[in-house]
Structure 1
Amino acid sequence: MHAFQVTRFQAIEPGPRLLVTGAVHGNEVCGTRALRRLIDEFQNDQRQLLRGSLSLVPICNPLAYQKGQRSGDRNLNRRLRPTQDPREFEDHVANWLCPLMQQHDILLDLHSFQAQGRPFVMVGPEDNNGPLQPFTQAAQELAWAKVLGVQRGVDGWLDTYSGGVAQRRARYAGREVGSSVDLDEQYGVGSTEYMRSTGGMALTLECGQHEDPEAPEVAYRAIVNSLLHFGLIEGDAPAIQSMAGLRLHHVEDKLHADDGFVKPWVSFDRVQPGELIGRRANGEPVHAPQQGWEGCIVFPNSKAQAGQEWFYLARELERFR
């Protein structure tokens, strides 16, 4: 059996309730290392919590972590929600993790990625009353994102996933929708999306490539800066920095194991209109949009399995300046 563990520190003075999570994907361990470092500091009285509460989860998905791979039975960070009929290990994780998130105001979720690239933060939508992801704390969330210590921000996650689901439904017309998680309308809901649905704020920090030795330090600095920003520990307020900004607008799935890129793309590589990005196993070319588009590639994953997300395309925007 795999046990779930959270280490919680509670100050006498009331204040924000911050939750920090690592290893939602089992092969993304930079957050795990950073969180264990911080737990040691608090337990050895090197740091003191001034107000509020701090909950630290170094390993969200112990089965995937034990296997040293992204998932146990499926991707935890897709269609994250409690269920009364748990069938996969990640369903059990969700039944523990979602109530834990509901007990907090703020979530920082620490990740890393497959391809080479620089760290960046994924933020939620602008304030809106729409049906997909209504939100009212965009300014506060963005102000927090600007103190994490990274130089790039990305938004548009859930809108892009909604479009991806529509593409899959069209591709598999006639297939029973309920038989596949990636055809579910809630497929794009991960930890941060679920947290916002409870009324909280949430950021996903992509700390670098999986094996980057600097990634644990990126994660650690972001946690400490978050604690300072919300006044949970003593110290000077972290520096605010403007960030280059991107908005995701398209996700492309890998349809066959032999689909391949035409070159070793790195996240945020510029992509020209109509540029050849890859080829399907049958030789069919995969191009960027031909007209009215200019941007870059994000999360190119040459090791993606058939049916998984292969890459994303994003446009620049001024929101993060």
Structure 2
Amino acid sequence: MEANAQRHEWFGAEVAAGGSVNTELEISESYSSRNVSIPIRVVRGLQDGPTVFVTGALHGDELNGTGAIRSLIADQNWQMLAGTLVMVPVLNVLGFERHSRYLPDRRDLNRCFPGNASGSMSMRMARVIFDAIVTRCDYGIDLHTAAVRRTNYPNVRTDFKNAECMRLAEAFGAGVILDGRGPKGSFRREATNAGCPTIVVEGGEVWKVEPSVVECMTRGVNNILKELNMMEGDLEKPEQQVKIRTTKWIRAERGGFLDMHVSPGSIVASGQPLATNSTLVYEDHSVLRSPFAGIVIGMTTLPAAQPGEPVVHLGRLTNRKSARRVEKHALRDDVQRTAQEHLSTSVQVVEPFVIPEESP
């Protein structure tokens, strides 16, 4: 008999070693007194090992993570040797059903953890999720996209000071890793504080399942399972991963229509034009330039802007030499290169406008 042959119970369902089960976690009640549940897939290996959760759609309109988890579930050749994997395609099912980032009470579930059993609806939901999933897991992977009207180049966000979080982030294999604990009340911050090191993965847009982003996410989840000896095989990672401590949103100085000069994943030099804002008849040009050498982590997909609105999200690189090195290694990684090519189709990228000289 294998060391992990005993049966485990998850959300009322028993899962035998080497088996899997579809089950549900009741998180709330509807106005009609009916139970509200989130569907969950639990997979166990034959041997003892870590317990890992992977969640999608914590914001109900962010569906790339949902697509990635469903791809893992549907893969007939996918096998786990050890440990337990808890897969939650849609964590915020109430937001998902309304195609909304938020819960029906307009609260952001990702600011409500670890929750409160006697608090608001969102706080109660967060408490149920936290107690039922996080407290039983050793590690976590939370899959996200950019907010509405934006897109993100695939990246991992983690606390550089936490060794186990960094282990997950590096194993995931994204080309870009950003430093940060996450906002107070966020799922990954509170899970990590509770002893379950958790990372966030960002990629793509809301309301879509984008193949190149799904490929980044599924590769990353498999990499982490291999790193934790839950699956066989070598990790598939880029030659280099850039670690970024400083980011900055470049904001519109004037209102008008945007011409973008960069796309997600673009490497930029200090002073390089990022976007030009002008009137609808191409007058009164306002050029936004990069304040430092960096990489485009995210950007708006809405070509109209008012003063102060975010246009391009930059991650700061050390210098131009470092920028060239990052670009070279990204092009060598098929998954990163495909993602950059695909995400660039979300925006129209043109050469900077040259203002003609006035006639004498």
Q: TM-score, normalised by structure 1?
A: 0.67
On the 8 A contact 1:266/1:298 being kept in 2, the answer is no
CA distance in 1, matches of 2:289, 2:118: 41
On the 8 A contact 2:188/2:198 being kept in 1, the answer is yes
CA distance in 2, matches of 1:221, 1:82: 31
On the 8 A contact 2:274/2:290 being kept in 1, the answer is no
CA distance in 1, matches of 2:126, 2:48: 28
- Residue aligning to 1:7: 41
On the 8 A contact 2:151/2:298 being kept in 1, the answer is no
SS of match in other structure, 1:242: coil
Shift of 1:61: 0.6
Residues 77 and 13 of structure 1, relative CA distance in 2, 3 Å threshold:
same
CA distance in 1, matches of 2:221, 2:62: 16
SS of match in other structure, 1:314: strand
Amino acid at match of 1:312: H
- Residue aligning to 1:16: 50
CA distance in 2, matches of 1:274, 1:78: 36
Q: 1:98 aligns with which of 115, 130, 133?
A: 130
Considering fraction of residues, name the structure with more strand.
2
Number of corresponding residues: 272
- Measured against aligned partners, the alpha-carbon deviations of 1:104-139 in whole angstroms (never above 9, x if no partner) come to 111112223354564x23142323xxxxxxx24355
- Residue aligning to 1:145: 172
Q: Which runs of 5+ in 2 are unaligned?
A: 1-29, 31-35, 278-283, 330-360
Shift of 1:230: 1.9
Residues 302 and 216 of structure 1, relative CA distance in 2, 3 Å threshold:
closer
Q: 1:122 aligns with which of 156, 168, 180?
A: 156
CA distance in 2, matches of 1:33, 1:145: 17
CA distance in 1, matches of 2:38, 2:305: 28
- Residue aligning to 1:221: 219
On the 8 A contact 1:80/1:94 being kept in 2, the answer is yes
On the 8 A contact 1:117/1:266 being kept in 2, the answer is no
CA distance in 1, matches of 2:127, 2:70: 24
SS of match in other structure, 1:214: helix
Residues 274 and 29 of structure 1, relative CA distance in 2, 3 Å threshold:
closer
Q: TM-score, normalised by structure 2?
A: 0.60
Residues 218 and 244 of structure 1, relative CA distance in 2, 3 Å threshold:
closer
On the 8 A contact 2:156/2:202 being kept in 1, the answer is yes
Shift of 1:252: 4.7
SS of match in other structure, 1:4: strand
Shift of 1:315: 0.7
Identity across matched positions, percent? 19
Superposition map of 1:105-116 within 5 A:
105-113=138-146, 115=150
Amino acid at match of 1:299: G
Amino acid at match of 2:127: N
Shift of 1:53: 0.9
Amino acid at match of 1:190: S
Question: Greater RCO between the two (CA within 8 Å, min separation 6)?
Answer: 1
CA distance in 2, matches of 1:277, 1:63: 37
Shift of 1:48: 4.0
Residues 311 and 71 of structure 1, relative CA distance in 2, 3 Å threshold:
farther
Shift of 1:62: 0.6
Amino acid at match of 1:75: D
Residues 274 and 11 of structure 1, relative CA distance in 2, 3 Å threshold:
closer
Amino acid at match of 1:267: P
- Measured against aligned partners, the alpha-carbon deviations of 1:79-128 in whole angstroms (never above 9, x if no partner) come to 54312453354x3442233221222111112223354564x23142323x
The more displaced of 305-314 and 78-87 is: 305-314
Amino acid at match of 2:179: G
On the 8 A contact 1:30/1:207 being kept in 2, the answer is yes
SS of match in other structure, 1:25: coil
Aligned-CA RMSD value: 4.1
CA distance in 1, matches of 2:255, 2:129: 35
- Residue aligning to 2:180: 157
